[in-house]
Amino acid sequence: MRIAVVGTGYVGLVTGTCFAEVGIDVTCIDIDEQKIENLKKGILPIYEPGLKEMVLRNTQKERLSFSTDLASSIQGCGCEAAFIAVGTPPGEDGSADLKYVLAVAREIGRNMTDYMVVVTKSTVPVGTAQKVRQAIEEELEARGADIDFDVASNPEFLKEGAAIEDFLKPDRIVVGVASERAEKVMNKLYKPFLMNGHPLIFMDIPSAEMTKYAANAMLATKISFMNDIANLCEIMGADVNMVRKGIGSDARIGNKFIYPGIGYGGSCFPKDVKALIRTAAENGYRMRVLQSVEEVNESQKEVLFNKIDTHFKGDLAGRTFALWGLSFKPKTDDMREAPSLVIIQKLLERGAKVRAYDPVAMEEARRVLGETIEYGKDEYEALIDADALLLVTEWPEFRSPNFNVVSKLMKERVVFDGRNIYDAADLREKGFTYYGIGLKQKEQQLKETV
């Protein structure tokens, strides 16, 4: 079986490589010539655990190849499906910008020679597959070509940092189709991934498109809800870690995705929540819950900075802050909508200095932040003479540092833990002033004043 995957970013590259891994012949296509040249040499554009080895293995076995030429990847080569996996960034009004998706659809229409299923893998609003169909039909008509084709919607649910595992062993695969022929092709493609009993759920195309937004919106809602609860815990003298365990053991609620923190980031939750709100507004409906989800998230990104500002009584100019973790979450180099960016910007605005360390995102951070901050060679170097440590991304290597070394390196022993990964009592015993998210700050303050 042969397929083409257009767009070799986080989703396209993982999708193409995982399909190749199960024996399908895949061509990954991108308009970025440098990216394709690098991929041909085994240099990956992104950091994703296990991906490089898998790319190399499958290119060596000649099941996976890279090209900038979409035409030759779909013409007369028995290509049964073309996946569109390009970006759908937010436009100015929050709606998903479909120009990249539709540009690919048009190119497919200009070049296809035989029946194929054109699959939208990108996250796109309801109605997009229909627009893809129309774009292809217009191009075929302009060519005077009478070629049968189908469109399908196959949203992707992988998480960065665990993308391969998520793709190979998905909780479910959702496919929206409008014909039996398309269903057959998609069934054949995904059969190898169904060995573990995970369901392949076929549905109509609009429902598949909506499923993706509903999933991300629900996950974002869980996070904002917990952040709201965490903030209230702090005010009332409760401990959100206890509350999290208390509610998470109810199977109806579940113990996953209820960790409070400094707001959700990344390329998807922020943009997809905005896009769904926008879609609803365009159709005369107000997504009241999601508007609040977004509002809570925006203010949550400032929570750590506000704690810092309060602790230092507004006197931040000239101080040095060590920041551990720059990427929006561990195991990725992705800096898109990372809460670290908000914290850094606020500290710099107040005349403070930031020295950061991240195991893999420093190159990407340099691209975004330039030399506005300093970069440590490792987590300990970032701490030298720092007024406080800010734990921003919970990379495994930050979980149990040697706090004796930490305290010797720092000017002041203050820790602001944006992910609640440290034991508050233990750190306080070691002489640190410790701030987490939603912890018993009130009781602590009371104790301190007695």
Ligand X SMILES: O=C(O)[C@H]1O[C@H](OP(=O)(O)OP(=O)(O)OC[C@H]2O[C@@H](n3ccc(=O)[nH]c3=O)[C@H](O)[C@@H]2O)[C@H](O)[C@@H](O)[C@@H]1O
Ligand Y SMILES: NC(=O)C1=CN([C@@H]2O[C@H](COP(=O)(O)OP(=O)(O)OC[C@H]3O[C@@H](n4cnc5c(N)ncnc54)[C@H](O)[C@@H]3O)[C@@H](O)[C@H]2O)C=CC1
Site for ligand X contains 264 (CB under 6 A):
yes
CA torsion sign for 296, 174, 117, 34 is: positive
Instruction: Measure CA of the first residue to CA of the last residue in the chain; give whole Å.
Output: 73
Residue 259, marked binder: yes
For ligand X, the nearest residue by Cβ is 268
7 binds, among ligand X, ligand Y, none (CB under 5 to 8 A by kind): ligand Y
Residue 330 CB, nearest approach to ligand X (Å): 8
Q: CA dihedral in degrees (295, 298, 301, 302; nearest 10)? A: -90
239 is in an annotated binding site: no
Q: Which does 418 bind (CB under 5 to 8 A by kind): ligand Y, ligand X, none?
A: none
Task: Please report the sign of the dihedral spanned by the C-alpha atoms of residue 316, residue 320, residue 326, residue 329.
Answer: negative
Residue 259 interaction partner, one of ligand Y, ligand X, none, beta carbon < 5-8 Å per kind: ligand X
Rounded CA separation 308/306 (Å): 5
- 68 labeled part of a ligand binding site: no
State the number of CA atoms in the 13 A half-sphere of 234 facing the CB.
Answer: 17
268 labelled catalytic: yes
Give yes or no for residue 265 binding ligand X (CB under 6 A): yes
SS3 label, residue 232: helix
CB 50 within 8 A of CB 158: no
CB of 119 to ligand X, least distance (A): 16
Q: Is 257 annotated as a binding residue?
A: yes
Has 206 been labeled as part of a binding site? no
Binding mask 370-409 for ligand X (x = CB under 6 A): ----------------------------------------
376 contact choice in ligand X, ligand Y, none (CB below 5 to 8 Å, kind-dependent) = none
| Greatest Cα-to-Cα distance within the chain, rounded to the nearest angstrom | 85
Smallest gap from residue 23 Cβ to ligand X (A): 24
Strand, helix or coil for residue 67: strand
**Rounded Cα–Cα distance for residues 336 and 101 (Å):** 20
The reply to whether 260 sits in an annotated binding site is: yes
DSSP track, 155-222: -----TTSHHHHHHS-S-EEEE-SSHHHHHHHHHHHGGG-TT---EEEE-HHHHHHHHHHHHHHHHHH
Among 151, 158, 277, 383, binds ligand X (CB under 6 A): 158
Q: Tell me which of ligand Y, ligand X, none is bound by residue 5, counting a contact when its beta carbon lies within the kind-specific cut-off of 5 to 8 angstroms.
A: none
140 lines the binding site for ligand X (CB under 6 A): no
Active site residues: 268
Known binding-site residues for NAD(+) equal 30, 35, 88, 123, 160, 271, 336
Known binding-site residues equal 30, 35, 88, 123, 157-160, 212, 257-261, 265, 271, 329, 336
